[in-house]
Amino acid sequence: MVCNRLTIMRLNEFYNKSISEELNETSMVFARKKGKSGGVSTTQKFACSSGPRAGKRVSSMAQCFAPIDIAKRIQMTKTRAKTSARAARRSKRTKRIDPSSLLTKILNKARKPAKPNKK
């Protein structure tokens, strides 16, 4: 026997985490942002905890679940393979010297919870 009544199911009947817990999982971090005019400033970013970009830093939470462009991903993999040594040297120097990098390091260190002392 088929019932013609429409049954409305809620998401929380299938999923045990609330939406607020899910948002708290995705953490905000500070990062450097390069402007068009050549200046560098500090901005807030999000670290994805789930979705296809889990573990990556993105500018908005919507990007964590956006579909991935495979052609762009393959091209970027090739580019990183070619320029990884030069990029590593440049980023090491920038993180040590640039004022915005030092500010980013200070702000992100302040956001981390303190580690308990081992006795």
Residue with tokens 């889990």: 54
H or E stretch at 97: helix 70-97
Domain boundaries, the chain: 23-111
Give pLDDT, residue 9. Answer: 56
The rounded average pLDDT for each run of 10 residues, N- to C-terminus, in the chain (119 residues) is 56 56 60 70 82 86 90 94 92 90 85 73
Give pLDDT, residue 119. Answer: 67
pTM of the model: 0.48
Q: How far apart, in Å, are the Cα atoms of 70 and each of 36, 73, 74, 78, 117?
A: 27, 5, 6, 13, 45
106, amino acid identity: I
- DSSP for 99-110, please give it: HHHHHHHHHHHH
